[in-house]
């Protein structure tokens, strides 16, 4: 009897991830072994046709067994299309993780993540905080020791 695998077994120890570092069914995810976008779009088109045809088969009084087969085909195809979507989303997530941090295209202002990174770096204290405090008052050396003749 084999011992159960730990979730992080097989995962590389490096910080940089690639599309093959994501685990899928206990092994590294390989985009060449799963369905592609062409398969997904074929499933979506067939699902759309069956979704339209199934209620019409009832309205047109087709045999009940044929309507039932169409309904089961819709459910099975919905299951496969859903699994294909999940697989493709995992590939996209793995690819984005490998690419590192991305900037929003339309934004010129820094993102929250960039602001936090700047604040976390040593020596990146806020220059505005130091400039807003009033400078300390120093005695004037020409006044002779600070005695200006006014009693407090």
Q: Residue 51 falls within a domain, yes or no?
A: yes
More confident residue, 111 or 56: 56
DSSP the chain: -PPPPPTTTT--SSS---GGGSEETTEE--TTTS--HHHHHHHHHHHHHHHHHHHHHHHTT--HHHHHHHHHHHHHHHHHHHHHHHHHHHHHHHHHHHH-----SS--SPPHHHHHHHHHSTT---HHHHHHSPPPP---GGGSSS--S---
Q: Is residue 84 part of a domain?
A: yes
What band does 151 get if pLDDT is binned at 50, 70 and 90?
A: low
Tokens of 127: 């220059």
Mean pLDDT of 121-126: 64
What is the extent of the structural domain holding 54?
A: 35-94
Higher-confidence position of 30 and 44: 44
Query: Is 80 inside a domain boundary?
Result: yes
pLDDT of residue 68: 96
- The answer, yes or no, to whether residue 115 has pLDDT greater than 90, is no
Assess whether pLDDT exceeds 60 at residue 2.
no
| Total count of domains within the chain | 1
Whether residue 134 is predicted with pLDDT greater than 50 in this model: the reply is: yes
In-domain check, residue 140: no
**Buried b / exposed e along 28-64 (16+ C-beta atoms within 10 A):** ebeeeeebeeeebeebeeebeebeeebeebeeeeeee
Asked whether residue 53 is assigned to any structural domain, the reply reads yes
Domain assignment of residue 139, yes or no: no
Q: The dihedral of CA 119, 125, 131, 134: what is its sign?
A: positive
Residue 134 within a domain = no
Structure tokens at 15: 């910080």
Tens of pLDDT, residue by residue over 101-110, are 666 677 788 8
pLDDT at residue 37, as a whole number: 81
60 occurs within a structural domain:
yes
- Mean per-residue pLDDT over the chain, rounded: 74
Percent of the chain residues past pLDDT 90, beyond the cut? 28
């Amino acid at each position: 009897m084999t011992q159960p695998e730990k979730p992080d077994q097989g995962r590389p120890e490096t910080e940089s991830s690639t599309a093959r570092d994501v685990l899928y069914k206990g092994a590294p995810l390989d985009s060449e072994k799963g369905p592609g976008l062409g398969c997904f779009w074929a499933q979506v088109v067939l699902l759309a046709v069956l979704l339209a045809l199934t209620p019409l088969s009832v309205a047109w009084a087709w045999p009940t067994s044929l309507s039932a087969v169409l309904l089961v085909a819709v459910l099975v195809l919905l299951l496969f299309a859903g699994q294909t979507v999940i697989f493709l989303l995992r590939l996209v997530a793995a690819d984005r993780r490998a690419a590192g941090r991305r900037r929003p295209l339309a934004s010129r202002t820094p993102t929250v993540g960039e602001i936090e990174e700047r604040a976390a770096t040593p020596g990146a204290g806020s220059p505005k905080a130091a400039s807003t405090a009033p400078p300390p008052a120093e005695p004037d050396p020409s006044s002779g020791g600070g005695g200006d003749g006014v009693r407090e």
